[in-house]
Amino acid sequence: MRLLLDTHTILWSVDSPPRLSDKARAAIQDPQNELICSAGSIWELAIKVRLNKLTLSLPFRQWMVSAIDDLDLTVLPITVDDADLLTTLPPHHGDPFDRLLIAQAMVERIPVVSADRGFDAYPISRLW
């Protein structure tokens, strides 16, 4: 199964695994699942590091490359279809990065692994 990991899910998988739910941890560790990282999550992490709102266990580039490799993540680009859906997506969730993940999950028809219950207002599947 393809699974889109929310930004905090990627972060916790690398730096704080106990913060993951048992269900999320099992899904991430299941070799049958393809783990997807949105290009938007990479951008979000870079912005938060630059603004000193987030400290990673390694310098950003090293941390990100290691996370992609260690979690065997496939990076999902942001497409015109994703952006187009954002233009009509109801404003239930205010965070622009989360709204992008929601749009990508809808376009790709894949579940999101996230602790954020705000995702539940949209027609996507959330695993946690």
Query: What sign results for the dihedral spanned by CA atoms 57, 42, 2, 92?
Result: positive
Question: What is the average pLDDT across 91-109?
Answer: 94
Mean pLDDT on 59-82: 98
The reported pLDDT for the residue numbered 92 is 87
With a cut of 90, say whether residue 93 has pLDDT above it: no
Domain borders along the chain are: 2-127
Q: Is the dihedral of CA 90, 91, 94, 96 positive or negative?
A: positive
Q: What angle do CA 20, 100, 6 make, to 5 degrees?
A: 10
Q: How sure is the predictor about 98, in pLDDT bands with cuts at 50, 70 and 90?
A: very high
**What integer is the mean pLDDT of 90-111?**
94
Give pTM, 2 decimals. 0.95
pLDDT band at 97 (very low <50, low <70, confident <90, very high): very high
Query: 13 near 28, Cβ under 8 Å?
Result: yes
Residue 65 has pLDDT above 90, yes or no: yes
Residues 6+ apart with CB under 8 A from 46: 60, 64
pLDDT digits (tens, 9 = 90+) for 31-56: 999 999 999 999 999 999 999 999 99
| CATH 3.40.50.1010 matches 2-127 | yes
